[in-house]
DNA sequence: GCCGTTTTCGGCCCGACTGTTTTCAGTCG
């Protein structure tokens, strides 16, 4: 049986192959749209295929539905295999190079027989590429640079790194006197977990002066492009930064456009057309081709005005992925997203008792410094010997030390005595119930045997959730962004089990993890699963990672009501005890 | 290939920059 992910990947490959064939671009887009809509759908894939309900997803018509069904039922798709046979698989790696699209890749393949990056590099060096029609020596040079860049950097960067670099560049840009408005744009502003490049937008009456100032930034390796309204540079460290400059009255349109996402923009433009308007990055104007009455255009000075003109509530940047936010904004159903200053505490912190760097007292002081009223300590358990995990004796000594500190803190602040308990290979926990019962809460996490098959891993985790002592499921997929793939686990099943067992799921705020991924929180929320934004701090500095957790939670549509560590000190205790205390007789669940 | 609040045909978001051209194609966002 074929999975949804495999089907999405197949549709994306078909789109690329059609592009290579030089097919109608709208046909290409139809496959891209179909892949995207399928991916974003939370419906049960098998069910909708088997019941012939694929067309309900939108963007999937008779032809593509037929192909998906054939692929699902037989594990093969004749159409796909014929397309694939036309081009070598290695050709796809050429698309990863900056500046190469379908037309150029096709030309390289058709005319020079180039199938791999290695062959392309050789052809650039010996001059064959420069001689191709439509190519030239500059193009060959740029391809070589793109190959070099790909070799040096994977091309994606952590949100935390991108945030730091962006703040430095912002400080540089703001030093210019002629800036009237400035904004970060792109995936960074939308809070994506990894970032491809940095985007900045400026409103000014002095475009050339501002652009000159931008390219004078100290940490630039190379200026990639510089024109009257935009410039691109490659920073030392490999990330690209783009600046776009507009006039003041254009700023809200440009801001909306460059924050994206592309899919959100396309949807907004479609909505504008429905009013008889055409929307671009500079303005909104009557659509000259409008076939019906054109609605008068209101004054627009801010992004808020723009959304309101389109009869939408303002959509925060984190939600702009065209995953339902426009429909929600139209019907006033957008959530009031959780904010940084809603946080009252945090769980899942390590101390030097296991693999952290600071003491209980230092972690508590750092938490109070951040304005938090409570902090949960959760050092590793004994099976994580690589992390100096605690055995029963050391754990219970730590519990006693925490109780003593709490007597000193009085009502001002509280440490919770917890544990990051390993979920063993078979789903059992690393400590007996007698030991776990002495703790305020338990985070249960997988730290070994990552390679189990999906069904086994899913059963393993669900078994752990069934323990009344497991309060929170820690980093549910174990992924390390840009470094390690998630282990195979059926998150939909895990979320269902968390709902049934009233287990909280962690949003691990460490920017290398951001796990559970923002894409799954909407589903979790619908099922009533609560979130704990946990810093997984291994030092006092690590508490600041909560910032990235809040950003990801916002991206997952979560409100302060969905996040348990927004609860006050007095309200959080019953939540931590909920699984251990069966509901009172006659009480509603 | 998909889609429809006048459409089952004829649209499908749109502009900047580069490099190659000599008016524009390709790529990117």
The superfamily in CATH containing domain A347-577 is: Metal-dependent hydrolases (3.20.20.140)
Give, in Å, how far the C1' of B17 lies from the CA of A73: 47
Residue lying closest to nucleotide B5, CA to C1': A274
Q: List the single protein residue with the shortest CA to C1' distance from B24.
A: A134
Q: What is the mean pLDDT of residues A571-584?
A: 86
A70 CA to B8 C1' in angstroms comes to 26
What SS3 state is found at A260? coil
Q: Is the pLDDT of residue A585 over 70?
A: no
Sort A113 into a burial class: Cβ within 10 Å, 0-12 / 13-18 / 19+: exposed
Distance A497 CA to B23 C1' (A): 63
Distance A135 CA to B11 C1' (A): 33
* Residue bearing the bigger pLDDT, A355 or A124: A124
Distance A183 CA to B6 C1' (A): 42
Distances (CA, A) of A381 to A352, A409, A419: 13, 26, 7
pLDDT at position A483 is 66
* A196, closest nucleotide (Cα–C1'): B29
- A284-295 average pLDDT score: 74
Q: Using a 7 Å cut-off to protein CB atoms, list the covered nucleotides of chain B.
A: 1-3, 6-7, 11-21, 25-29
Nucleotide nearest to A267 (CA to C1'): B13
Closest nucleotide to the alpha carbon of A131, via C1'? B20
User: What value does the mean pLDDT take over residues A444-458?
Assistant: 89
pLDDT at site A288? 74
Do A4-85 and A89-152 have matching folds?
Answer: yes
Cβ contacts of A580-588, under 8 Å, gap ≥ 24 = A580/A437, A580/A468, A580/A469
Between the CA of A267 and the C1' of B6, what is the distance in angstroms? 23
Q: What is the pLDDT of residue A24?
A: 85
Decide if A579 contacts A503 (C-beta within 8 A).
yes
Q: Given this model, what pLDDT does residue A154 score?
A: 67
Q: Give which of A319, A311, A306 is closest to A261, Cα–Cα.
A: A319
How many angstroms is C1' of B27 away from CA of A192?
23
Query: What pLDDT is stored for residue A586 in this prediction?
Result: 45
- Looking at residue A59, what is its pLDDT? 87
Q: Which residue's C-alpha is at the least distance from the C1' of B1? A: A27
Query: In whole angstroms, how large is the CA radius of gyration of chain A?
Result: 27
CA→C1' distance for A62 and B8 (Å): 14
A487, pLDDT greater than 90: no
| pLDDT band per the 50, 70, 90 thresholds, residue A300 | very high
A404 has a pLDDT exceeding 80 = yes
Residue A25 backbone phi and psi in degrees, to 5 = -60, -25
Question: A199: which nucleotide lies closest, measuring CA to C1'?
Answer: B29
Return the CATH superfamily for domain A256-330: DNA polymerase, thumb domain (3.30.210.10)
Residue A488: predicted pLDDT:
86
As a residue count, chain A comes to: 589
Q: What's the whole-number mean pLDDT along residues A360-372?
A: 96
| A282, closest nucleotide (Cα–C1') | B15
Nucleotide nearest to A227 (CA to C1'): B17
Alpha helices (H) along A262-374: 262-274, 303-309, 325-330, 360-369
Question: CA of A562 and C1' of B26: distance in angstroms?
Answer: 47
Instruction: Write out the CATH class of domain A89-152.
Output: mainly alpha
User: pLDDT tens digits, residue range A116-171?
Assistant: 998 999 999 998 999 998 899 899 999 998 888 777 666 788 999 999 999 999 99
Do you find a cis peptide bond into A516, omega within 30 degrees of 0? yes
3-state secondary structure of A355: coil
Give the CATH fold of the A4-85 domain: DNA polymerase; domain 1 (1.10.150)
CA of A29 to C1' of B11 (A): 14
**Options 3.20.20.80, 3.30.70.2470, 3.60.15.10, 3.30.460.10; CATH of A157-246:** 3.30.460.10
Q: What CA–CA distance (Å, rounded) separates A552 from A545? A: 11
* C-alpha dihedral sign at A232, A235, A241, A247: negative
Nucleotide with C1' nearest the A260 CA: B29
Nearest protein residue to nucleotide B21, judged by CA and C1' positions: A134
A407 — pLDDT class (breaks 50, 70, 90): very high
**Residue A575 CB: number of other CB atoms within 10 A?**
17
Residues A484 and A474: their CA atoms lie apart, in Å, by 17
Residue A484 pLDDT exceeds 80 = no
Distance from C-alpha of A554 to C-alpha of A175, rounded to nearest angstrom: 31
Q: What is the dihedral of CA A49, A54, A57, A63, to 10 degrees?
A: 140
Q: Kindly list the domain boundaries of chain A, sorted by start residue.
A: 4-85, 89-152, 157-246, 256-330, 347-577
Please give the pLDDT value at position A584: 58
Helix (H) or strand (E) holding A524: helix A521-526
CA A53, C1' B4: Å apart?
20
**Of A438, A433, A430, A432, residue with least CA distance to A474:** A430
Mean pLDDT on A182-208: 93
What's the pLDDT at A589? 38
> Which residue, among A3, A14, A5, has the nearest Cα to A75 in the 3D structure?
A3
Residue A37: which nucleotide is closest by CA–C1'? B2
Region A226-243 average pLDDT: 90
> Mean pLDDT of all residues in chain A?
91
The CA-based dihedral angle spanning residues A182, A188, A190, A192, taken in that order and rounded to the nearest 10 degrees: 180
Confidence class for position A352, pLDDT limits 50, 70, 90? confident
pLDDT digits (tens, 9 = 90+) for A38-89: 877 777 889 889 988 888 888 899 899 999 999 999 999 999 999 999 899 8
Measured in Å, how far apart are chain A's first and last C-alpha atoms?
A: 37
- Angle, alpha carbons A479-A485-A488 (nearest 5°): 85
Minimum-distance nucleotide, CA of A104 to C1': B26
CB atoms within 10 A of CB A271: 16
| Parallel/antiparallel/unpaired status of strands A197-204 and A179-185 | antiparallel
The distance (Å) linking the CA of A134 with the C1' of B24 is 11
- What count of Cα atoms within 13 Å lies in the side-chain half-sphere of residue A488? 7
Q: Closest residue to B12 by CA to C1' distance?
A: A26
A224 CA to B27 C1' in angstroms comes to: 14
Average pLDDT of the residues in A503-532: 95
Name the nucleotide with the smallest C1'–CA separation from A185: B29
Over the stretch A235-265, which tens digit does the pLDDT of each residue have? 987 789 999 999 999 999 999 999 999 889 9
Which residues on neighbouring strands pair with residue A182, listed in sequence order? A202
pLDDT of residue A588: 44
């Amino acid at each position: 049986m074929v999975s949804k992910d495999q089907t999405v990947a197949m549709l994306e490959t078909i789109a690329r192959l059609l592009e290579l064939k030089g097919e109608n671009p709208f046909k290409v887009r139809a496959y891209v749209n179909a892949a995207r809509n399928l991916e974003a759908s939370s419906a049960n894939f098998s069910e909708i295929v088997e019941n012939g309900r694929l067309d309900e997803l939108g963007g999937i018509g008779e032809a593509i539905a037929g192909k998906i069904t054939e692929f699902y039922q037989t594990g093969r798709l004749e159409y796909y295999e014929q397309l694939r046979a036309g081009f070598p698989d290695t050709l796809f790696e050429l698309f990863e190079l900056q500046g190469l699209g379908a037309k150029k890749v096709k030309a390289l393949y058709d005319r020079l027989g180039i199938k791999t990056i290695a062959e392309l590099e050789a052809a650039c060096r010996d001059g064959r590429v420069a001689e191709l029609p439509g190519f030239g020596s500059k193009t060959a040079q740029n391809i070589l640079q793109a190959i070099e860049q790909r070799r040096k950097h994977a091309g994606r960067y952590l949100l935390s790194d991108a945030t730091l670099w962006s703040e430095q560049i912002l400080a540089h840009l703001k030093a210019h006197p002629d800036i009237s408005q400035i904004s970060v744009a792109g995936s960074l502003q939308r809070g994506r977990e990894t970032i491809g490049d940095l985007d900045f937008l400026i409103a000014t009456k002095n475009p050339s002066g501002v652009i000159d100032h931008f390219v004078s930034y100290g940490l630039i390796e190379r200026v990639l492009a510089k024109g009257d309204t935009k410039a691109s540079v490659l920073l030392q460290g490999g990330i690209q930064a783009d600046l776009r400059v507009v006039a003041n009255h254009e700023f809200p349109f440009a801001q909306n456009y460059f924050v994206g996402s592309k899919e959100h923009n396309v949807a907004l433009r479609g909505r504008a057309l429905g009013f008889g308007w055409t929307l671009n990055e500079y303005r909104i104007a009557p659509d000259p081709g409008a076939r019906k009455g054109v609605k008068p255009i209101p004054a627009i000075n801010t992004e808020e005005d723009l959304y309101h003109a389109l009869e939408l509530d303002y959509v925060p940047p984190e939600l702009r992925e065209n995953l339902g936010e426009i429909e929600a904004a139209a019907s006033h159903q957008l959530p009031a997203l959780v904010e940084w200053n809603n946080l009252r505490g945090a769980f899942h912190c390590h101390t030097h008792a296991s693999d952290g760097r600071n003491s209980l007292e230092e972690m508590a002081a750092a938490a109070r410094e951040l304005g938090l009223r409570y902090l949960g300590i959760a050092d590793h358990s004994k099976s994580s010997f690589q992390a100096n995990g605690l055995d029963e004796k050391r754990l219970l000594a730590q519990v006693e030390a925490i109780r003593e500190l709490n007597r000193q803190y009085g009502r001002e602040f509280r440490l919770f005595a917890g544990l990051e308990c390993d979920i063993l290979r078979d789903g059992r926990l690393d400590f007996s119930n007698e030991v776990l019962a002495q703790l305020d809460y338990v985070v249960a996490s997988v730290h070994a045997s990552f390679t189990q098959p999906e069904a086994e891993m899913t059963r393993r985790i669900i078994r752990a959730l069934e323990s009344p002592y497991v309060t929170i499921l820690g980093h549910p997929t174990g992924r390390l962004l840009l470094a390690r793939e998630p282990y195979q686990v059926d998150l939909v099943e895990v979320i269902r089990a968390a709902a049934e067992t009233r287990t909280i799921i962690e949003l691990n705020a460490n920017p290398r993890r951001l796990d559970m991924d923002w894409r799954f929180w909407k589903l979790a929320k619908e099922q009533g699963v609560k979130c704990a934004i946990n810093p997984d701090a291994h030092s006092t500095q690590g508490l600041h990672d909560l910032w990235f957790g809040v950003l990801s939670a916002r991206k997952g549509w979560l409100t302060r009501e969905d996040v348990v560590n927004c609860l006050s000190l007095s309200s959080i205790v019953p939540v931590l005890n909920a699984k251990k205390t069966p509901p009172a007789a006659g009480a509603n669940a």
